[in-house]
Structure 1
């Protein structure tokens, strides 16, 4: 009996320490998930946020400020809290429009550039209520151009508990 009690005194605290460590790791690793966040570049004030998952699609719908033609950019949300630009579709060429990114084709009157695969930690711009039509997450409108103050410097980013870990550990 005495041997059994001493083994319990040694084993039970070890098991408790391991269980608590696993619970803490699980809590830090899971967290509340990822958020798509639009914030003011100068003050870091969050203007809008929405829960997202890895693989979700974010689409910018623009009207080119000079050419006045549609411009659509399609990104995916990555596990390392970055955006990957896959496709740009634009109704023509003009000032600031890339001419040769990825695989280029003409589809339904639009110049479509696919397989771009450029990675961005965040997307920054000086907001225009007339140039931005909307940003959508799948089929859900995240914001419209009118939702944000005209000429406000903004930043779109992905935030989550994963930012507790150095990004270099996530990408290795």
Structure 2
């Protein structure tokens, strides 16, 4: 199974796969815990070892996450050297994109019109697919509203269905 490239709209799937792969590779320490305090001359061997393990996890996690992000998105993400902060900034960007995308989908659903360029069945499937995508973004469209949107999308010759 491969990690889906984060494209701005699939954070949940991409994040879940990134976390799974990092966990399997035993590199998820940096995304699970905060950065340990810097080591000093007084640090114990255990603290030094933990710090080195965390640093390796952080470095490789960052590389892995950056490789799983679409190029057009990478440049807009803040520069950070902390894997946990990086994942948080990707999540925040995703939430903003999700809200914008949900608005676009809702607008499309409301203004869709059946123009005969596809079959009625395809038109209905397209509308129900939009509702399913909205649901995956946290917006639920009641079935009664969906029926009303479908009826409103039909041309006047389908008038008897509206009554």
Bin of the TM-score, shorter chain as denominator length: under 0.3
Relative to the length of structure 2, the TM-score reads 0.24
Of Structure 1 and Structure 2, the greater helix share is in 2
TM-score, structure 1 normalization: 0.23
User: Which protein has greater RCO, CA pairs closer than 8 Å, 6+ apart?
Assistant: 1
Q: Which has the higher strand share?
A: 1
